[in-house]
Structure 1
């Protein structure tokens, strides 16, 4: 049973290896990490250091070779893909570098989608919440636009609104400004921290941007798959 004082994410001796042409490639080695509720943690390191792989393991999107990950007090090892999805449902939000919006859905429909998938919310309530969130990210006038008609910054703001639609306990962000120019990226990051503070979620993000990492309460540096600065 998890208490309010327990880490929201617990990682112990985590390893990830994959087969390659030379035999076996080690991506992560002996990673141990705790993430406290309400904190903001930046995972930093050079390209190929294992940052995105670690994020995927923390979120239960991938399986570790060995070690353990506990999310919300639940051990992810041994859970099926459907069980991990059920654990994330409504409690975890995602923001990706490539936005990952559904191209055939409008901005409003993209934000409403997680609520529809989660269930328990009427269509009217889901629509009202989606309108409110798009208003918070400055897109009240763009609700009926499809992703192809939105700029990169606007698409990432839709993705932010979608990520917060279900009141997530944890928000995972993978290089959230990697596809944006510097000025637009700063605006999106300001908005992400504002929304995260307003919603009280725990934030775990992967970034190569040192200035962004400094805005977090903690930074974790990976080098060749190992934590060198916890």
Structure 2
């Protein structure tokens, strides 16, 4: 696979503040960073440091109080909610700690869903691609199972298949092994890195796991809302 080049994420002066009972609380303050295409970046820091908030801002899931985020060349502040959603559907994948599978859909249907939302391919082709990925993550015999009938590790593997089925340019992962035991988490991480290498996607990963962070190309540490250089 030809190595992708250029910047996929550019952040300047990013700030996030929220109002609470005591006044204004600063969650992120003056974040500047750039992430190259095809790289693997770990965001680390103590609980409450702002790393998950930063991930949400990078993905266009939240609005900044100040500063700018450019994702795949798009200034997110200049896009309305529909345009942000369209950008995410076409070029972004997500893996969350809580899996976030649709409980009323089978494993196959959960993986097909992002393709159906794109509306660019036929249902049979979406099913074929989803089934291929479920086989790749070792769940070929479980395609008709609903999430409640799957273990936590199996649910996260479904979530991985769902994240990669659209062939995203960027994958955001927020504590993807946080709900799993050590052995299952290790297997899921190995699978995620394998799929990421095969796809060439840029990976931005929030984690508390120092060993996992060391496997990334870069580690960015957030302390009290600031990026530590």
* Length-normalised TM-score, structure 1: 0.97
**1:12 partnered with 2:12:** yes
Q: 2: distance between equivalents of 1:77 and 1:120? A: 26
Q: 1: distance between equivalents of 2:140 and 2:6? A: 38
Q: Which residue of 1 aligns with 2:164?
A: 164
Q: 2: distance between equivalents of 1:26 and 1:221? A: 17
Unaligned residue ranges in structure 1 (runs of 5+) = none
Shift of 1:78: 2.9
Q: Which residue of 1 aligns with 2:174?
A: 174
Task: Write the mapping of 1:22-101 to structure 2, written as runs, cut at 5 A.
Answer: 22-101=22-101
Q: Which residue of 2 aligns with 1:108?
A: 108
- Aligned-residue RMSD, C-alpha: 0.8
- Secondary structure of the 1:8 match is strand
Shift of 1:120: 1.1
Please list the CA deviations of residues 52-100 of structure 1 after superposition, one character each: whole Å capped at 9, or x if unmatched. Answer: 0000000000000000000011111132111111111221000000000
Q: 2: distance between equivalents of 1:132 and 1:5? A: 28
Moved more, 156-165 or 73-82: 73-82
Q: Which runs of 4+ in 1 moved over 4 A?
A: none
Shift of 1:5: 4.3
- Secondary structure of the 1:90 match is helix
- Secondary structure of the 1:77 match is helix
Unaligned residue ranges in structure 2 (runs of 5+) = none
Q: 1: distance between equivalents of 2:95 and 2:166? A: 13
Shift of 1:187: 0.3
Contact 2:49 2:225 in 1 (8 A): yes
* Length-normalised TM-score, structure 2: 0.97
Task: Write the mapping of 1:78-227 to structure 2, written as runs, cut at 5 A.
Answer: 78-227=78-227
Q: 1: distance between equivalents of 2:125 and 2:205? A: 30
Q: 2: distance between equivalents of 1:11 and 1:140? A: 40
Q: 2: distance between equivalents of 1:186 and 1:82? A: 36
Q: 1: distance between equivalents of 2:199 and 2:186? A: 20
Q: 2: distance between equivalents of 1:217 and 1:135? A: 28
